[in-house]
């Protein structure tokens, strides 16, 4: 019996669910019925030969891997052999069936061998094809992701470098605010840098406006476009804020106007409290505040005196033969304030912290360079020479400070808490905060936090006071009348004795002079904030993401706020205090204003009073013919070519 190839096996499997008879009785025609009656499978299944039921399953199952019509038939035979109680075999020719089976068995091994070879070849083909297919799919998926990433990146980049800046520019111009047109990507950065270098290429006269050297670009912008004007720090629109009420809003609403992260590399220098925001800032401010309490500052006054007195001895040695000589006082003042912060903050001396100051000085120069260039997102991850050097400096400073902190902690463990230096007071306050919160260290500062605050102590504590003393000596040399008045006051209160805390607080003329110097030569030339959301600032509405910059130098020299003599040195304007001098307006901001006002301002002023009192007690000074007036912004306003004065011993 030879069964021809047909689709009966698949058809039969479909019909098994309802039964073959049900299929016949379902309304088919006579011809179809006759065709089904002659179907080999039907004939086979409805046969009645009992011997067929005894057919060996082993024979059938041994050929189950042969891929032919035979394989299909044998599988059906095996199925119904196991279900023989459901079947009657009475119409099938047993001899023909047995002949088929015998033929199958005779050729079984040969067929299996051939099939196995074919199967292995097919398996290799299928595996190769599958692998290639997977590789193609993976490649297509990668290309898809890459294309999607590129599209998203280009969309965001286009928005960042063009769409958002132009939208912000149109928004401000509709309000009548003037400024420079946006230039793709760089904005005004190139012009700003060029004017900065041009201004620093030549000195100015001591009576000239220092704003032309400290903030030349903004000074020119305000003259051309007005006090309310804007410029571009790269693709960031930057709006000048010079109105006192607007300044008050920006500096008072610290949550709406946080400090911007203009360049992440700046964090290598500007760390600690000045760089923090939100809850972490509040926590650190609370812990650090006790160290700068006026009562606590009395404790560090002897250390200030020792450092200042040491500088007096060095100056006396320089002038001992002739009674006077030309001295570049700038490096001496730098060393003085460095020694003061070393003694008062860390209970050490200048020699121990010398490496920190040298590294911080280099870091400040690199940071100033960074802030004069545009930052492209992701640029900080590139291993540039500048980044490598800044990172190395930060690492070396951290190692030195870690050793100083460990030494202070060891002292605190073996004896009473040290209250004669700021670090000891800081660690004591930090430990108290942790204990008050149930020994939960999350509420205090960790070692890295303390290191960052120490870096801030070193940098801000040294830079602020050194530049204040430097420009005070320059202006008192230029205006000897005020130098004489200040000396008379110091001699009247202290004579030749060591200045004390109460006496320093009674110095009125000296305080007036220091305030006027801070007005004309503020340590920080500008204060910048960023808008979290669209907000009304004064009579302007600024878009979200805009920078609001307060050009402190320009505000302090604004004719509308300070009168026609705004650019002149007149300490008498502070004779009745800051509030009277400013008419109650927020226009005197050398240390900032509001909740984030500089925490160390009292420390800086106390140190400046101590140093200036000792200088006035021991020396008379005037400008040398070699003096070159060239203020320059290196984070703070410093003398570019030093400060050469003639010191005359009294």
pLDDT, tens digit (0-9, with 9 covering 90-100), for 618-638: 999 999 999 999 999 888 999
Q: Which pLDDT score, from 0 to 100, does residue 591 have?
A: 95
pLDDT confidence band for 371 (50 / 70 / 90): confident
- Can you tell me the distance from the alpha carbon of 127 to that of 133, in angstroms, rounded to the nearest whole number? 10
pLDDT, tens digit (0-9, with 9 covering 90-100), for 26-65: 445 566 555 444 444 444 444 433 444 444 445 444 444 4
| Angle at the Cα of 387 from the Cα atoms of 549 and 366, rounded to 5 degrees | 55
598 is in an annotated binding site: yes
Residue 441 in this model has a pLDDT that exceeds 80: no
pLDDT, tens digit (0-9, with 9 covering 90-100), for 226-240: 999 999 988 999 999
**Least confident span in 70-84, 288-302, 433-447, 627-641:** 70-84
Residue 459 in this model has a pLDDT that exceeds 50: yes
Q: Give residues with Cβ within 8 angstroms of 597, minimum separation 6.
A: 591
Q: Parallel, antiparallel, or unpaired: how do β-strands 636-639 and 236-240 relate?
A: unpaired
Average pLDDT over residues 561-580: 97
Identify whether the C-beta of residue 384 lies closer than 8 Å to the C-beta of residue 370: no
Q: Which helix (H) or strand (E) holds 127?
A: helix 94-158
- End-to-end CA separation in angstroms for the chain: 137
pLDDT, tens digit (0-9, with 9 covering 90-100), for 127-136: 555 565 666 6
pLDDT confidence band for 243 (50 / 70 / 90): very high
CATH fold of 189-649 reads Cytochrome p450 (1.10.630)
- Can you tell me the distance from the alpha carbon of 526 to that of 550, in angstroms, rounded to the nearest whole number? 5
| Angle at the Cα of 555 from the Cα atoms of 549 and 561, rounded to 5 degrees | 140
Give the closest residue to 474 by CA, choosing from 309, 631, 313, 305: 631
Give the closest residue to 360 by CA, choosing from 336, 394, 329: 394
Place of tokens 């946080």: 258
pLDDT confidence band for 268 (50 / 70 / 90): confident
DSSP structure class, residue 498: P
User: Where in the chain is CATH 1.10.630.10?
Assistant: 189-649
Average pLDDT over residues 97-105: 53
């Amino acid at each position: 019996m030879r069964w021809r190839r047909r689709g009966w096996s698949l058809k039969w499997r479909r019909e098994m669910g309802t039964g073959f008879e049900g299929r016949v009785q379902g309304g088919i025609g006579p011809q179809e019925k006759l065709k089904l009656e002659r179907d080999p499978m039907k004939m086979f299944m409805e046969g009645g030969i009992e011997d067929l039921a005894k057919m060996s399953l082993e024979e059938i199952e041994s050929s189950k891997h042969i891929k032919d019509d035979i394989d299909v038939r044998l599988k059906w035979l095996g199925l119904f052999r196991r279900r023989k109680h459901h079947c009657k075999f009475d119409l099938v020719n047993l001899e023909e069936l047995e002949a088929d089976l015998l033929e199958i068995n005779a050729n079984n091994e040969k067929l299996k061998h051939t099939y196995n070879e074919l199967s292995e070849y097919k398996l290799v083909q299928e595996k190769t094809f599958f692998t290639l297919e997977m590789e193609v799919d993976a490649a297509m998926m990668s290309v898809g992701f890459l294309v999607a990433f590129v599209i998203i990146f280009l969309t965001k980049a286009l928005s960042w470098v063009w769409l958002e800046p132009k939208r912000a520019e149109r928004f401000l111009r509709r309000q009548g605010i003037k400024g420079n047109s946006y230039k793709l990507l760089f904005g005004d950065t190139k012009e700003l840098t060029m004017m900065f270098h041009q201004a620093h290429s030549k000195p100015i006269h001591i009576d000239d406006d220092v704003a032309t050297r400290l903030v030349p670009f903004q000074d020119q912008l305000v003259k051309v476009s007005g006090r309310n004007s804007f410029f571009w720090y790269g693709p960031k629109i930057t709006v000048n804020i010079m109105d006192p009420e607007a300044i008050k809003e920006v500096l008072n609403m610290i949550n709406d106007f946080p400090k911007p992260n203009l360049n992440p590399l700046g964090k290598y220098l500007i760390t600690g409290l000045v760089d923090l925001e939100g809850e972490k800032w509040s926590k650190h401010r609370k812990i650090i505040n006790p160290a700068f309490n006026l009562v606590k500052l009395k404790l560090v006054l002897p250390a200030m005196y020792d450092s200042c007195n040491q500088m007096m001895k060095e100056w006396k040695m320089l002038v001992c033969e002739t009674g006077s000589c030309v001295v570049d006082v700038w490096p001496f003042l730098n060393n003085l304030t460095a020694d003061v912060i070393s003694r008062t903050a860390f209970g050490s001396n200048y020699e121990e912290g010398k490496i920190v100051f040298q590294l911080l000085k280099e870091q400040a120069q690199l940071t100033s360079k960074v802030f004069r260039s545009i930052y492209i997102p992701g640029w900080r991850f590139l291993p540039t020479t500048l980044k490598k050097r800044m990172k190395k400096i930060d690492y070396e400073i951290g190692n030195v400070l870690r050793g100083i902190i460990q030494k202070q902690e060891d002292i605190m463990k073996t004896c009473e808490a040290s209250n004669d230096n700021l670090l000891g007071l800081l660690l004591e306050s930090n430990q108290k905060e942790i204990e008050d919160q149930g020994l939960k260290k999350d509420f205090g500062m960790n070692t890295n936090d303390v290191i960052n605050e120490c870096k801030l102590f070193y940098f801000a504590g040294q830079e602020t006071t050194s530049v204040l003393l430097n420009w005070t000596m320059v202006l008192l040399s230029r205006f000897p009348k005020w130098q004489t008045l200040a000396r008379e006051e110091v001699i009247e209160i202290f004579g030749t004795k060591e200045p004390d805390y109460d006496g320093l607080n009674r110095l009125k003329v000296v305080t007036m002079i220091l305030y006027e110097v801070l007005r004309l030569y503020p340590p920080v030339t500008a204060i910048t904030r960023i808008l979290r959301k669209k907000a009304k600032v004064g009579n302007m509405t600024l878009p979200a993401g805009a920078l609001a910059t307060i050009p402190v130098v320009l505000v302090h020299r604004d004719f509308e706020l300070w009168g026609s003599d705004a650019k002149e040195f007149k300490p008498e304007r502070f004779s009745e205090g800051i509030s009277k001098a400013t008419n109650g307006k927020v226009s005197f901001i050398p240390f900032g204003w509001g909740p984030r006002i500089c925490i160390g301002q009292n420390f800086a002023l106390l140190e400046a009073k101590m140093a200036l009192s000792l200088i006035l007690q021991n020396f008379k000074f005037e400008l040398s013919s070699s003096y070159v007036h060239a203020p320059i912004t290196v984070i703070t306003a410093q003398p570019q070519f030093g400060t050469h004065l003639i010191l005359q011993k009294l």
